[in-house]
Amino acid sequence: MLKQILTISMVLSIGVIQVYPKSATCPKKQSIKAVKSGLPTVKKLLKKVSIDCVTPEGDTLLHYAVRFNKRKVVEYLVEHKIDISAKGGIFYGTALEDAIYYGYLGIASYLIGKGTNLDITNMDGDTALHIAARNGYLDTIEELVSSGASKNIVNKSGHLAYDEIPELSWDSHKRLKSLLFVKNNINKNSNYPHGSGVELLENMLVKKRKNTDITIIDKKSKIDNTDVGIDVEIEHSSRF
């Protein structure tokens, strides 16, 4: 009897234990420090904040994990159902876009395999495919395309991913152009022809017939159309 009275007294003295919800806001400095320190420190932080918490600057823990190349932290966050496609980071895009931008292609491949949205655009209108094309990452481009990334999205500069391929003497250059070629889609702001080689030649002939001025052939304007395997030379004139 005395034991029961003591137990009741202890419960009354302690009172009701309140459980507070985890914070939806990540403290920036604490989050960066935790991610840099590694997974054990991140786990401690997650006792206080939600896994989908966002810093006042708009960054998520996943963006920090990618930025500091912390593969184990990335995997832990993804396995514990963080929003893998949330926007944030240096260009306000996905963690995948940041991984490609920083050149952490192993992390990029992991995020692709885990089903992140491939077609979300960042503040410049770029998708993951634009960023990969700009850097000439052939393996990543192949993985993105085979996983269903759209080749038809135009960024704020008016460019498709195809247009972002740098003009360098790489062995993989033709392969990149072939992968990102968009058939029957002529982009007015493009540096390359988007359409079949036959259509391109037909358009040139129509313009030539309409032109009555003297036409000068610019030998440097040679376009390699890898889709149909032909080379054409554009004829420049003041009329078009």
Q: Mean of the per-residue pLDDT values for the chain?
A: 76
Q: Higher-confidence residue: 53 or 212?
A: 53
How many Cβ atoms are within 10 Å of 151's Cβ, its own excluded?
20
| Residue 203 reports pLDDT greater than 90 | no
**Percentage of the chain surpassing pLDDT 70?**
65
Query: Could you give the CA distance from residue 138 to residue 178 in angstroms, rounded to a whole number?
Result: 11
pLDDT at residue 116 in the model? 97
Q: Higher-confidence residue: 66 or 229?
A: 66
How many Cβ atoms are within 10 Å of 117's Cβ, its own excluded?
14
Q: What is the pLDDT of residues 3-47, one digit of tens each?
A: 454 444 444 444 444 445 677 898 999 999 999 999 999 999 999
| Residue 128 reports pLDDT greater than 90 | yes
Under DSSP, the state recorded for 231 is E
pTM of the model: 0.68
pLDDT at residue 110 in the model? 98
pLDDT at residue 185 in the model? 56
Query: Could you give the CA distance from residue 166 to residue 132 in angstroms, rounded to a whole number?
Result: 11
Query: What residue has token string 């993804």?
Result: 78
Helix (H) or strand (E) segment spanning residue 208:
helix 197-210
| Rounded average pLDDT over 129-137 | 93
| Rounded average pLDDT over 129-153 | 94
List CB contacts of 161: < 8 A, sequence separation 6 or more: 127, 129, 130, 132, 133, 141, 151, 153, 180
**Helices (H) and strands (E) in the chain — how many of each?**
11, 4
Tell me the CA end-to-end span of the chain in Å, nearest whole number.
102
- Report whether 99 contacts 65 (CB < 8 A): no
pLDDT at residue 74 in the model? 98
| Rounded average pLDDT over 126-145 | 94
- Residue 205: exposure state from Cβ atoms within 10 A (0-12, 13-18, ≥19): exposed
Residue 16 tokens read as 């009701």
Q: Higher-confidence residue: 77 or 3?
A: 77
How many Cβ atoms are within 10 Å of 31's Cβ, its own excluded?
23
| Residue 218 reports pLDDT greater than 70 | no
Q: What is the pLDDT of residues 155-202, one digit of tens each?
A: 999 999 988 888 764 566 677 777 777 765 545 555 544 443 333 334
